[in-house]
Amino acid sequence: MSMFPETLIGGLLAGTMYSLVAIGFVLIYKASGVFNYAQGSILLFAALTFVSLTDQGVPALVAIAITIALLVLMAIAIEKLLLRPLTNRSPMTLFMATLGLSYLVEAVAQGIMGSQVRALDLGIDDLPVFVGDIMISQFDLIAAGVALALGIGLSLLFNRTRIGIQLRGVADDTRAALSLGIDINRIWQIVWAVAGIVGLVAGLLWGARQGVQFSLSLVVLKALPVLIIGGFTSIAGAIVGGLIVGAGESLAETYLGPFLGGGITPWFAYALALVFLFVRPAGLFGERQIERV
């Protein structure tokens, strides 16, 4: 019976794709306390820009460079025009502002680059690999490797570099960070730019999987339960949360789905997240907040 391990491993690998998206959210949440709903649209924008450029015959590396440059410009614009005026407003206001931002980014991306499905070939063949008698997709393995590498790289950035330490300072206590002379506006720009680049990586992998199209921006809805389970503030949490959601979804669809008529994937992750919330409202790796009047 290799069905159970195969389902489990397939689910875990699919879960790393969720982690990849979730990491982008964690970065921004850590630094500015914003649940950035627009991460999905930024992911779409990045993938769409890359595909449009390579379709025009631009070499892949140049296309990546141009896309990253655009993402950095976007990060600066978002910080200057949206985040700075909204400093000190409630997290709900900021969330709704990013909802508006996602509309704008989607509209610009699709208005300029079209809304038809684009194929994206990263040169990775989706060949099955056998470990014992368990079949694993090669593409999934590579995606999982990328997610892991990104997670480790960003953790190092946060814990070992000067920018990372400043960033954690801003996340911990904005006012104290300001009085110590940390330029929080610059930190925000950097974080949003890095999150954009993480979005580009995620967008390319997801785009190679299901084509570059509008539905890419909906992966944000997949990442939300991942964040809830892992906690909004932990990269390790995002990876573990992704694994739990991926494995949970694929096991539930295989073993629970038949009893419920199938197709339960869209809401199962949310039900799972709700269960976790009842037990640990701050997520597995999140920091518990103490409220004062």
Residues of the shown chain interacting with another protein in the complex, contacts defined by CB under 8 A: 35, 82, 85-86, 89, 91-93, 95-97, 99-108, 110-111, 115, 221, 224-225, 228, 260-264, 266-267, 270-271, 273-274, 277-278, 281, 291-293
Q: Which is nearer to another protein, 139 or 276 (CB)?
A: 276
Euclidean distance between CA atoms 24 and 227, whole angstroms: 10
Strand 128-131 to 134-137 pairing? antiparallel
Q: How far is the CB of 139 from another protein (least distance, A)?
A: 27
Q: Which is nearer to another protein, 153 or 281 (CB)?
A: 281
Measured from the CB of residue 105, what is the shortest distance to another protein in angstroms?
A: 8
Measured from the CB atom, the residue of 166 and 233 that comes closer to another protein is: 233
Residue 15 in tokens: 């879960």
CB nearer another protein, residue 1 or residue 293: 293
CB of 266 to another protein, least distance (A): 5
Q: How far apart are CA 244 and CA 271, in angstroms?
A: 13
DSSP state of 287: P
* Closest to another protein by CB, 206 or 232: 232
State in angstroms the smallest separation of the CB of 14 from another protein: 18
Task: Name the DSSP letter for residue 290.
Answer: P
At closest approach, how far in Å is the CB of 268 from another protein? 9
Select 58 or 86, whichever has its Cβ closest to another protein. 86
Burial 190-229 (b: 16+ CB within 10 A, else e): bbbbbbbbbbbbbbbbbbbbebbbeebbebbebbbbbbbb
Q: Residue 120 CB, nearest distance to another protein (Å)? A: 21
Closest approach of another protein to the CB of residue 15, in Å: 18
Of 83, 80, 103, 108, residue with least CA distance to 94: 83
Burial class (CB within 10 angstroms; exposed 0-12, middle 13-18, buried 19+) of 140? buried
* CA-angle at 181, arms to 175 and 183, nearest 5°: 85
Q: Which of 196, 197, 286 is closest to 241 using CA atoms?
A: 286
Residue in 37, 55, 17, 268 with CA at minimum distance from that of residue 146: 17
Nearer to another protein, 145 or 263 (CB): 263
